[in-house]
Structures are given as structure tokens and as C-alpha cells.
Structure 1
Amino acid sequence: MRTSTIRNSLYATTLMFAFAAIPFGQVMAQDAGARMQQSSDNQTVPDKAADAWITTKVKSEFGTTKGISATNISVSTHDGVVTLSGTVSSQAEKERAERVAQLVKGVKSVDSSGLTIGGMPPTEK
């Protein structure tokens, strides 16, 4: 009888410590996750959402603008800076794509140095 009481007390104590440790583990995991997020990318969630919206809007504008082959142009955005890459048929199409992207709300600047004209490599600025 005495052995089972000691055993039950030992089980109860072990469970108590195990359940008490769970919140500490969660806090440590949250801290580690926050540090990893902060060190890998200083951009906030609203900033990322704004960049995603800008990218989508620029692609949409390309799709509805005559003289721009939207399927040949890749668009990415970081901190409001739109980067265009891919192939366009002429200098006029490249300039039109730059103008259309620049007119999208939230765009700070446009980098079109990655756009090539008809398969020619981009020119150095």
C-alpha cells in the first residue's frame, strides 16, 4: 500500500512539472521565432502586404494596357520599389511598362534594368 502511494505521488509530481514546463517552452519558441523573423527580414507584415498588392496591381495594369506583353514581364516589389525583368519587343514597350508601373499607387521607384529588348541583354546605366 505504501509503495503505490509513493508511486502515485511520484506520477502526480512528474505530471505537475511537465504541465508547468509547457508555457515556458511556448515562450521560448515564440522568442526564437521572433528573433529569426527579425534577423531574416526587417519588413513588417503590412509592408509585405503592400508590396504584394503593388506587384498584383502592376501585373494587372500590364494585362490591360495595349502595347505591353504582360506574359513576358516579371514583376517583384520590395519596400515599394518595383523591379521589372523579362523580355520586351522594343524600347517603346520598355518605357511604357516603366510608366505604367510608376503610376501605380504606392510605387516609390521602378527598376527596369532587368528588361531585355527582343533578346538583347540589358544595357548598363
Structure 2
Amino acid sequence: MAHREPAVTEEPTIGKLVVDASRDVSGLIQKEIALAKSELKVSVRAGGISIGLFAAAAFLALLAIIMLSVAIAHFISFTGLDLAWGFLIVFFLYLLIAGVLGFVGVKKLKQVKAPERAIGQAKEFPSALKGKR
């Protein structure tokens, strides 16, 4: 019987391990970016179609509001007022609604604040990478 010597496996050096690891990480990142791009293409296409449909719906809703305004003005004229007064009443009604919405919008806008916790964590990020606290 022939006696074989065990195969000697050469241990990789630290430098080779680092090169291999960085190559693998780089390849993984490139593949993740390619996956994200392909997913985004599908999402952007669907989003574009959705935006177009919402724009068409908003346009039709605007036309409906105009028709409703004309109808309200005519109903007001049935009370005995002139049609011009009906349109003027509808105009002031819309002006009042716009004023109330604007007032509420300004009050809500004053409640908006910067994301202070996220900003604080972002400022700590460079020192955390360096191993400092």
C-alpha cells in the first residue's frame, strides 16, 4: 500500500482575504444597485400612469365644480334674485371657503418642525465610524 502524504493547504494571507472580501462586497453592491434600478423602472412606470390618471380625475372634478357653481347660481336666481346676484353669491361663498382653508393651512404650517433627532444622529455618524462616541 502506498502511503500518501496529506495535501498541504496553503492558508490565504490577510491581504488576499481583504482583496477577496472587497471584491465580493463590490460585486454584491453592484448587483443590489442593478436590482434596485429594475424595481424602480417598474415603480416609476406605474407611478407615471397613476399621476396621469389622477390629473385627469382632478381636471374632471374641476369641471364638475364649475358646473355645480353654475347650477347653484341658477337655483339662487329661482328665489327671485337676478342671475348676476346668484353668481356673485357663489363667488363670495368660494372666497369665504378659500379664506378658511388658507387660515387653517397657515396654522398647520406653523406646526411643522425640523426632524431634530434625525439631524442629531446624522451629526454623530462620522464620529461613530471612527470609533469615537
TM-score, scaled relative to structure 2: 0.30
TM-score, scaled relative to structure 1: 0.32
Query: Which structure shows the higher strand fraction?
Result: 1
Query: Which structure shows the higher helix fraction?
Result: 2
Q: Which has the higher contact order (CA 8 A, sep 6+)?
A: 1
Q: Which has the larger radius of gyration?
A: 2
